[in-house]
């Protein structure tokens, strides 16, 4: 039976580490507030001369090497980001040029913190359908250039960081459904009624005569807006629900899963999901303490870290879930 499996992982974070005390110099905040409310201690910020696709390229090169293939074997790229190089074209185009891989199809997708799960679902479908053998998925974010770093933006700017993760999804023939490595299933959801609860209005065509103007900048509409408590409550509820949905679709029990990778926005969100689902803490891999929220990069970045630390190994059954702006949420189960 033709299915798809993850054959390589890579990640990259820019070298500059920004600690909570560094943010105290930019805005009225404190290490104590950030640590207590979110668990975040540090995040990485890219330098001025680096763009999103530079981060994506570093992660992609590692993932391709890790998959044991040549870059020429990649036949599609799916690039998940909300902080791209340009407003258009998609950042995947810039990555493709840097990789010198002409003619293959590229998608940019904008599903916020759920971007990686959506990309995984797309890659799985394209591989299963038969025409594609090795699809590169990139989740990359350069959020530090999009934040209001004054006190006005502190509820959001302390949360986000820069980084990239990439995986290669390859075709596989499975004979043993219980033990072979492959993507079991993916589950995707959106509720656009909450679109304005976590968004960045400008540049945009819904706001008047020009998609970008001094008026929009003066109103601060080029910075993200978030209703933190609404997002928090829905994140806990929906990530919990979608993990249950994913297990049930595959007739699996919680204890069958070796490792869980949740989106990393706030340690309190993941603790609440873990508690509700009664998952032992050692099975949940968190990175929010050191990277903050890296949106679409979060899950592949975390998985590669776990692999490097020897906690994520071949043969393991993995469940992953994410929640983000849109609202979007989703989950996946795969054996590595
Ligand atoms: O991936 C999806 C993306 N986002 C999320 O999942 C985030 C979900 N939401 C959250 O994680 C939390 O709601 C936050 C961490 C954003 C906020 O935590 P909270 O416990 O909901 O705090 P709050 O918004 O109720 O703010 C409490 C106080 C406010 O002051 P007053 O009005 O009580 O005087 C804020 O002005 O904390 C203040 N505050 C800050 N103080 C110091 C907000 N941000 C900061 C800050 N430093 N950075």
Q: What's the pLDDT tens digit per position in 294-319?
A: 999 999 999 999 999 999 999 999 99
Other Cβ atoms less than 10 A from the Cβ of 254: the count is 15
Q: Quick check: bond before 203 cis, omega within 30?
A: yes
Which distant-in-sequence residues (6+ apart) come within 8 Å of 19 by Cβ? 31, 41, 42
- Closest protein CA for atom 24 of ligand 1: 228
Distance 228 CA to ligand 1 centre (A): 6
Which tens digits make up the pLDDT trace of 232-242? Answer: 999 999 999 99
Q: What are the structural domains of the chain?
A: 2-173 (3.40.47.10), 182-335 (3.40.47.10)
Percent of the chain's residues with pLDDT above 90:
100
Cβ atoms 183, 332 nearer than 8 A = yes
Atom of ligand 1 nearest to the CA of 295: 1
Q: Which of 233, 266, 292, 322 to mutate to test the pocket of ligand 1 (most atoms within 8 A of CB)?
A: 266
Phi, psi of 126 (to 5 degrees): -65, -40
Q: Determine the Cα–Cα distance for residues 331 and 160; give it in Å rounded to an integer.
A: 22
Cβ atoms 302, 324 nearer than 8 A = no
pLDDT of residue 335: 98
Going by pLDDT thresholds of 50, 70 and 90, the confidence category of residue 102 is confident
The catalytic residue among 93, 113, 134, 266 is: 113
- 263 catalytic per annotation: yes
Which tens digits make up the pLDDT trace of 153-203? Answer: 999 999 999 999 999 999 999 999 999 999 999 999 999 999 999 999 999
Q: For residue 14, is pLDDT > 90?
A: yes
pLDDT of residue 98: 98
- 293 catalytic per annotation: yes
- Closest protein CA for atom 1 of ligand 1: 324
- Closest protein CA for atom 36 of ligand 1: 155
- Closest protein CA for atom 28 of ligand 1: 155
Cβ atoms 66, 6 nearer than 8 A = no
Instruction: Give me the chain's average pLDDT, please.
Output: 97
């Amino acid at each position: 039976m033709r299915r798809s499996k993850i054959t390589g992982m890579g990640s990259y974070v820019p070298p500059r580490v920004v600690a909570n005390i560094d943010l105290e110099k930019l805005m009225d905040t404190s290490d104590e507030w950030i640590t207590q409310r979110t668990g975040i201690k540090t995040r990485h910020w890219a330098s001025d001369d680096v763009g999103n696709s530079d981060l994506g390229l570093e992660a992609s090169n590692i993932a391709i090497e890790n998959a044991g293939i040549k870059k020429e074997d990649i036949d599609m790229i799916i690039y998940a980001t909300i902080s791209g190089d340009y407003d258009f074209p998609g950042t995947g185009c810039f990555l493709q040029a840097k990789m010198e891989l002409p003619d293959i199809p590229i998608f940019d997708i904008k599903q916020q913190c759920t971007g990686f799960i959506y990309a995984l679902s797309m890659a799985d479908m394209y591989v299963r359908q038969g025409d594609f053998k090795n699809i590169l998925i990139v989740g990359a974010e350069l959020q530090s250039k999009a934040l209001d770093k004054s006190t006005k933006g502190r509820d959001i700017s302390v949360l986000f960081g820069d980084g990239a993760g990439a995986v290669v999804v390859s075709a596989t023939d499975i004979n043993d459904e219980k033990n072979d490595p492959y993507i079991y299933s993916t589950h995707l959801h959106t509720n656009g009624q909450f679109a304005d609860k976590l968004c960045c209005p400008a540049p945009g065509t819904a706001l008047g005569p020009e998609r970008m103007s001094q008026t929009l900048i003066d109103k601060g509409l080029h910075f993200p807006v978030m209703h933190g408590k609404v997002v928090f409550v829905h994140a806990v509820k929906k990530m919990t629900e979608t993990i249950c949905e994913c297990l049930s679709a595959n007739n699996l029990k919680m204890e069958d899963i070796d490792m869980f990778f949740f989106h990393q926005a706030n340690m309190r969100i993941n603790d609440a999901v873990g508690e509700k689902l009664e998952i032992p803490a050692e099975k949940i891999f968190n990175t929010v303490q050191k990277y903050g929220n890296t949106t679409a990069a979060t899950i592949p970045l975390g998985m590669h870290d776990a692999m490097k630390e020897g906690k994520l190994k071949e043969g393991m059954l993995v469940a992953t879930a994410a929640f983000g702006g849109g609202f979007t949420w989703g989950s996946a189960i795969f054996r590595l």
